[in-house]
Structure 1
Amino acid sequence: MAAPVAALLFDIGNVVIDVDFARTLTAWQKSSALSLAELKARFGMDEPYRQHEVGVLATPQYFAHLRGQLRLDCDDATVLAGWNATFGAPVAGTLALIDQVRERVPCFAFSNTNKLHMDEMQKNFADVLQRFEHVFASHEIGHRKPQAAAFRYVLEKIGRPAEQVLFFDDLAENVEGAAACGLQAVLFREPEDVRRELAARGLLAP
């Protein structure tokens, strides 16, 4: 039997806010010698991407990497505009459920992200972020999901035992990493997954 839930922890991308790098690549294609298909083949969560997300690689160096990798011929402002084009709309179903429970159970967010995207979220999604007691960002803590060190850091700051934290993420490797650290971890595919898990634990009002 699962332990009582004392805190909820949500991934942000595609759980709370829609993100899709296809929008980014479409924006960048206007400044690239490569086709959209070639950009999709070349862009990914490579080592520079991961270093950027833990604050090791600075933005100018990461943008230089992107220019070379994707053959972009444009200034930083254009690269940044494409980088932030990844964001879509808030996931309304998830937010509605958070609003139902956050007065009774503290809600936190944990995102593998970077300063540029965090700045964009704080600017354009402030009403979403304010629902959380705290937003943990990989570039600020120096660790990414699914690293155990990342979850240990977040758990220490939340101040709850791992088994009392219910975590939602849309990536299986992050769910597996959280479960290995003792969290109650759920793979998110749609808001119904959140509703089902909250209801099963008696966290939704009848």
Structure 2
Amino acid sequence: MNVVFDFGGVVFRWQPHEFMARLLPHHATGEAAVAALVTEFFQGYSGDWAEFDRGMVDEARLAQRIAWRTGIALPDVQKIIDAVPFELQPVEPMVRLMERLREGGHRLFFLSNMPAPYAQHLETTHEFMRWFEGGVFSSRVQLVKPEPAIFHEAVRRFGAAPNELLFIDDFALNVKAARALGWQAVHCLSAQQVEADLAARGLL
């Protein structure tokens, strides 16, 4: 099987509510304030942040846009942007699961909405990145999930038919988009849940 992993929220920890509250405590005066801060800053990964994912704006321009749009001081915005790659720490149970799949003869790929500087950080920081036979970072193809075009590009690059690809993503819209294009897909809620799903499919 060709198993395709999303990165943020699947292979790498993604907890913006936690790290934004920690890094900007003066904006995090309670759970509701933190939730509003995350929503306003990332815009549900649309808007400014989607353009960053798409590789259409750089970090400096993104910081200016977010500061202008939200009223958050530019140094605080930059602090979050700079911190993100270091907050993307491996989810160790998922890394062990990937290793089991690889040892079992399955091919590993990735399909990730990821800005260019963060993609480079992940590639140069984590040894297990060499386990992937190929992958698609959104910023390098100027396409983002859940757009169908990025899935078509992944099919072309991975050299497999859609029904031969099993996609694992934590964002339900991305899972829905993959299934609509004929991919197999698993909605990731935890490493343990994904492991159970793959075992039920006979992959472990």
- TM-score normalised per structure 1: 0.83
Alpha-carbon spacing, 1:130–1:42, altered in 2? closer, same or farther (3 Å): same
- SS state at 1:199 partner: helix
Match status 1:135 vs 2:130? no
- SS state at 1:63 partner: helix
Check conservation: 1:108, 1:134, Cα contact below 8 A. Answer: yes
Looking at structure 1, the residues matched to 107 and 14 of structure 2 have their Cα atoms a distance apart, in angstroms, of 24
Q: Where do 1:1-206 residues align within 5 Å?
A: 5=1, 7-26=2-21, 29=24, 34-35=27-28, 37=33, 39-44=37-42, 45-68=45-68, 69-74=70-75, 78=79, 80-87=81-88, 89-103=89-103, 104-124=105-125, 126-204=126-204
Q: More helix per residue: 1 or 2?
A: 2
Alpha-carbon spacing, 1:148–1:96, altered in 2? closer, same or farther (3 Å): same
Return 5+ residue gaps in structure 1 as ranges: none
Measure how far apart 1:110 and its partner are: 1.1
Check conservation: 2:7, 2:112, Cα contact below 8 A. Answer: yes
Q: Which amino acid is 2:37 matched to?
A: L
Identity %: 24
Return 5+ residue gaps in structure 2 as ranges: none
Listed one character per residue, the Cα deviations across residues 146-184 of structure 1 (whole Å, up to 9, x for unaligned) are 111010000110000000111111111000000011000
Q: Which amino acid is 2:182 matched to?
A: G
Alpha-carbon spacing, 1:119–1:72, altered in 2? closer, same or farther (3 Å): farther
Looking at structure 2, the residues matched to 70 and 23 of structure 1 have their Cα atoms a distance apart, in angstroms, of 21
Looking at structure 2, the residues matched to 198 and 128 of structure 1 have their Cα atoms a distance apart, in angstroms, of 20
Listed one character per residue, the Cα deviations across residues 10-63 of structure 1 (whole Å, up to 9, x for unaligned) are 111121111122345236526x7x555263352122311111111122322111
- TM-score normalised per structure 2: 0.84
Looking at structure 2, the residues matched to 98 and 82 of structure 1 have their Cα atoms a distance apart, in angstroms, of 26
Check conservation: 1:23, 1:85, Cα contact below 8 A. Answer: no
- SS state at 2:99 partner: helix
Q: Which amino acid is 2:94 matched to?
A: T
Count of residue pairs brought into register by the alignment: 195
Give structure 1 regions of 4+ aligned residues with deviation exceeding 6 angstroms. Answer: none
Q: Which amino acid is 1:120 matched to?
A: H
Looking at structure 1, the residues matched to 77 and 37 of structure 2 have their Cα atoms a distance apart, in angstroms, of 18
